[in-house]
A and B are shown apart, each in its own frame.
Chain A
Amino acid sequence: MYGRKVKLRFFFVLSVLFILAFSAFLVLKSLEENVIYFQSPSEIKSLSEIEKKKIRVGGMVKGGSISIQATDLKFVITDFKNEINVVYSGAIPNLFEEGKGVVAEGFLKDKNFFLATKILAKHDENYMPPEVKAAIEEK
């Protein structure tokens, strides 16, 4: 029969393979659960059903749509074709302004209503979500 050393090495290779496969499985599974998809208001309008997963909505803050109370903030995200109402309570980034680009993370209540849990700060005043840019260029 094979020597002890060979058996040991075989065992070692087997366990390494197992560990690799296991971690690949973990990584992929975790990716599947934790990625957040980015959608524009138009894409949301064309959804067939409302998912419970967290998503990001990007577009421009519609002019004159921001209203703020002690607890929450309401505004409208538009991509110049469709729009969606957003309700948010939490920290507001510096570059959040009417007529500027915005990305909100949260949950869809229905096709017209979005409950945001986070508004993302963009570092650059000229930043615009790519979809919005495309939409504006189309106009």
Chain B
Amino acid sequence: MASLIGSYSLILGFCCSLIIFFFSVRNFKSPKSFDYKILSFTFLQLFFVIVSFIGLIISFINSDFSNETVFNHSHTTKPLFYKISGTWGNHEGSLLLWLLVLTLFIFLFLIKSKKQPNNYRILTSMFQQIIIIGFFIFLIKTSNPFSYIFPIPNEGLGLNPILQDPALAIHPPILYLGYVGSSIIFSSALAATTLNFISKDWAKHIKVWVLISWIFLTLGILLGSIWAYYELGWGGFWFWDPVENVSLMPWLALTTLLHCILALEKRLILTSWVIILSIATFTLSMCGTFLVRSGILNSVHTFANDPERGLFILIFLFSLIFLSLFIFFFFHKNENNNNSFFWLSKESSILVNNWFMMYFLSVVLVGTIYPIFLEVITSEKISVGPPFYNKLIIPFLIPFLLSMAIGPKLKWIKSEIQNKMYLVLFLFISFFISFIIIKNLDINFLINSILLTSSFYLFFITLRDFFIKGYQNLSQNLAHFGFSLLILSILFNNIYSTEVITNLKVGQTFKSKSLIIDFQSIDKKNEKNFQAIIGKFKIKELDNETIILNPELRVYNQPNIITSEADIKTNLLKDRFITMNLVSNQDYFNIRYQDKPFMIWIWLSVLLISFAGLMSLLKKRYEN
């Protein structure tokens, strides 16, 4: 029943799109007043999509296996929470979520943009509807979440157990708010370009939307990363996996956009940058969807290897890119060409930031796309691993960090550096600290000490500003401070991490100079949809108290998959992380124990960065 309502609701929603598009075109020809039918139908469309989405959720809750999506991704013994999260834990449902966010954002946009000119609002709505129509067709034609199967199966196939996890249950909605939220920036940038409406006011108005997408995207990536850390059992937080990369690329573009918008708002410069970046952010999000959905990349996100879907998204993606580039080249008039920058000014520092970001973006892009290209052209299979990214990104991170410290201190138009003394002094202090830290370690001295110096430099400069400047530019300073904290934690984490991998039988003990791992016992426990084997490990480190860790092996019944659940003891200084694994029909357990210093600070600093975004957003609202 719920499926049926959902299915019809989806079609009604699609009809609304066509109606809105028709009204928008008519209204656009005589835009004396805003046609409120557009708003009403946008609301109606949102309503239908919500109904359809709820319909799917209810089908999942009731385990209605006459619905193919539910059959493929759910099971009666699954806990309620994961039945619900299963709704978007698959291709069809997640696309419905895309659509939900698309319609939600255009509705909110129309409500919040009442002060803006009519034709701009109408055109934005029109562009957004083009995207929405594309996704409606995609959803209904190639991946309908409400397909009916007969005879009705008694039991579903179950959700991939590694997706049955709290962080990953909320990861898609949050990430999508960021990903798809950028669609509204795309639409409105295109509308503003067409109407030649790019102005300081427009910048101020669109900045709110940029911030919202950016905050959600940051949090979404964070959640995915935390999940990979404890669920995949590798103990790392970023693997340069293509699926991670496709979420990082829109983030880089969006972050750059955020900085350019500032310049646009204050000085009416970098307009081309803003337009290109608005287009790039959304296209990269789409591109990510294409890559993970088409089955080109193998990962948890690949729900189905269906070439038709990939082809559709690819065609849709290219038409959007073509449309936006057409608009950019034919409508965008670069009027104020006399904006020669003085080399020492805030705008040139933002420009420098842009180039760095674009460099990082292209490195990630090449690393992600190149293997696919090569496979298509020469059918040779390669993979590009972390060394590639490390080598290309780390050296450029150094000047990037330094300019992040200096840049915000500069004034618009023309600036001089005042109080040069403390800037130099801080550099020496940072270098001194790094020197002491690195000196006794057996690692590459040069690159590490310079990198550490520049991170400490940013850290101290931003820290000082909290006291000197107080509330002035607080959110900006907080974000930069968070970034320095992030890089510092990553560095220390890399430098001081240790790990032991060994095979042990129950009752055996592993001993090394600084560590004793005592595998005391195993325990069995039956849960609703899995059987758990829980190990008991006594860990004694030389300089630490003894701790007990209980990693788990879970044997899920449907689908029949074994997952290992890490056990992690976290404190402010370090994480102690253990996973165990059983090799089929052998007595030995494969044990991996890791000491991960400052792990929690990596998460906290990213949280801090997104919090800074939130603060800036609230401040904007307060000002208006």
* Interface residue ranges, A against B (CB under 8 Å): 5, 19, 23, 26-27, 30-31, 33-38, 56, 66-73, 89-98, 121-125, 127, 130
Contacts and interface: CB of A to CB of B under 8 A. Distances in A.
Interface in B330-376: 340, 355, 359, 362-363, 366-367, 370-371
A35 B391 contact: no
B416 interface: no
A68 B588 contact: yes
The 4 closest A-B pairs by CB, nearest first: A38-B381, A34-B388, A92-B590, A35-B382
Given A35-B383, A36-B385, A127-B298, A70 B503 contact: yes
B537 to A, nearest CB: 15
Interface string B560-591: 11111000000000000001010111101010
Nearest to B395: A26
Contacts of B585: 98
Nearest to B383: A36
Contacts of B502: 70-71
B387 interface: yes
B232 interface: yes
Contacts of A27: 362-363, 366, 392
Given A23-B359, A68-B586, A73-B583, A34 B384 contact: yes
A121 to B, nearest CB: 7
A93 B340 CA distance: 57
B250 to A, nearest CB: 20
A31 B562 contact: no
A91 B236 CA distance: 13
Contacts of B380: 37
Contacts of A72: 503
Contacts of A71: 502-503
A89 B583 CA distance: 13
Contacts of A56: 381, 383
Nearest to B340: A5
Nearest to B387: A34
A125 B359 CA distance: 37
Contact of B584 (A5, A66, A124): A66
A35 B388 contact: yes
A130 B359 CA distance: 33
Interface residues of chain B: helix, strand, loop or mixed (majority): mixed
B366 A31 contact: yes
A5 to B, nearest CB: 7
A37 B392 CA distance: 20
A25 B362 CA distance: 13
Interface in B147-167: 160, 162
Contacts of A70: 502-504, 508, 588
22 contacts: A27-B362, A30-B391, A33-B387, A34-B387, A35-B371, A36-B382, A38-B381, A68-B586, A69-B588, A70-B502, A70-B503, A89-B501, A91-B590, A92-B590, A94-B564, A96-B581, A98-B584, A123-B160, A124-B160, A124-B298, A124-B300, A130-B381
A72 to B, nearest CB: 8
A121 B235 CA distance: 13
A125 B588 CA distance: 22
A31 B585 CA distance: 41
Contacts of B113: none
Contacts of B581: 91-94, 96
B408 interface: no
A30 B583 contact: no
Contacts of B385: 34, 36
A71 B512 CA distance: 14
B576 to A, nearest CB: 16
A93 B563 CA distance: 9
Contact of B560 (A92, A122, A124, A125): A125
Contacts of A67: 586
Contacts of A125: 559-561
B409 interface: no
Given A38-B381, A73-B583, A123-B298, 5 more contacts: A31-B388, A34-B384, A67-B586, A89-B501, A121-B234
